[in-house]
């Protein structure tokens, strides 16, 4: 019995060490400066790390940018995925519960298990503002190549989400694999992606700025 307990402790120790090593050597850690301990203690950081790991596994030519704040702007862009099929601006959202929203509404609703309802500022509108900032900063990119993605954690449930714009998608982390399966068009060359990446890379923030303010929103 003692030997079994000892083996279990050793196994847990090895597993923990591997997780620390993977995190500390991940692109997310190198870009943001977050440590494994900070991710262990902060749900938001763990969520962003998980999403980063998913995005780095997307097939095709790609470059990933995290925590971007453009010059003369205080607004943070969570992720930009430069992919051969286009430029994906990703707004990462963490609230749980039931999510209700329409593309045109100013606010969406989050309903918790206890029946409490919270208003959440429409993340699609947030992304429209962020994309407008990018269009001003990189005017040479065709507007048709921008894609707005709102990615929620898996602990929520979409009850009624209405989106009509073809360039806008609202989904959860566990839906990302299917989302990318049919997106292998060659809209950007590798050289074009490198040029865009080089112009945006200096604006990735290691110390995360505040998110865009949410009016009466539950914490993300």
Instruction: Provide the whole-model pTM.
Output: 0.82
Q: In the prediction, which pLDDT does 217 show?
A: 42
Look at the block and give the residue holding tokens 């060490």: 17
pLDDT exceeds 70 at position 207: no
What is the mean predicted confidence (pLDDT) over 43-48? Answer: 85
Looking at the chain, the whole-number percentage of residues with pLDDT higher than 70 is 80
- Average pLDDT of every residue of the chain: 84
CA 148 and chain centroid, separation = 11
Q: What is the dihedral of CA 176, 193, 94, 117, to 10 degrees?
A: -90
pLDDT for 216: 44
Q: What is the reported pLDDT for 11?
A: 54
3-state secondary structure of 197: helix
Residue 7: pLDDT band by 50, 70, 90 thresholds? low
Predicted confidence (pLDDT) per residue in 10-36, tens digit: 556 666 566 665 666 666 766 776 777
User: What does the buried/exposed string (b/e) look like for 42-73 if buried means 16 or more CB atoms within 10 Å of the residue's CB?
Assistant: eeebbbbbbbbeebeebeebbbbbbbbbbeeb
Cα dist from 9 to 6, 18, 22, whole Å: 5, 14, 20
Nearest C-alpha neighbor of 150 from the set 178, 116, 173: 173
CB 88 within 8 A of CB 54: no
Distance CA 188, CA 78 (A): 21
**138 has pLDDT over 70:** yes
More confident residue, 26 or 88: 88
H-helix or E-strand spanning residue 137: helix 123-137
Q: What pLDDT is recorded for position 44?
A: 83
Average pLDDT (138-148) is: 93
Residue 9 parent element (H or E) = helix 2-24
**Range scoring the smallest mean pLDDT among 43-52, 67-76, 136-145, 210-219:** 210-219
Percent share of the chain, pLDDT over 90: 51
Q: What pLDDT does residue 219 have?
A: 44
User: Where residue 62 falls among pLDDT bands split at 50, 70, 90?
Assistant: very high
Predicted pLDDT at 10: 59
CA distance 197 to 69: 14
Going by pLDDT thresholds of 50, 70 and 90, the confidence category of residue 42 is confident
């Amino acid at each position: 019995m003692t030997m079994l307990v000892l083996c279990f402790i050793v196994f847990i120790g090895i597993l923990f060490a591997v997780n620390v090593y993977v995190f500390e050597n991940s692109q997310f850690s190198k870009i943001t400066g977050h440590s494994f301990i900070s991710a262990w203690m902060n749900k938001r950081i763990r969520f962003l790390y998980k999403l980063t790991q998913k995005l780095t596994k997307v097939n095709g030519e790609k470059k990933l940018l995290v925590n971007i704040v453009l010059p003369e702007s205080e607004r943070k862009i969570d992720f930009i995925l430069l992919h051969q099929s286009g430029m994906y601006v990703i707004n990462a959202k963490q609230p749980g519960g039931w999510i209700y929203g329409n593309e045109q509404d100013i606010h969406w609703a989050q309903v918790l298990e206890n029946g409490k309802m919270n208003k959440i500022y429409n993340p699609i509108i947030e992304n429209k503002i962020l994309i407008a900032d990018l269009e001003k900063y990189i005017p040479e990119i065709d507007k048709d190549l921008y894609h707005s993605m709102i990615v929620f954690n898996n602990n929520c449930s979409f009850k009624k989400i209405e989106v009509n714009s073809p360039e806008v998608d609202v989904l959860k982390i566990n839906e990302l694999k299917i989302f990318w399966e049919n997106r292998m068009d060659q809209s950007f060359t590798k050289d074009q992606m490198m040029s865009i990446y080089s112009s945006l890379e200096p604006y990735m923030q290691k110390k995360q700025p505040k998110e865009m303010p949410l009016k009466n929103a539950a914490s993300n």
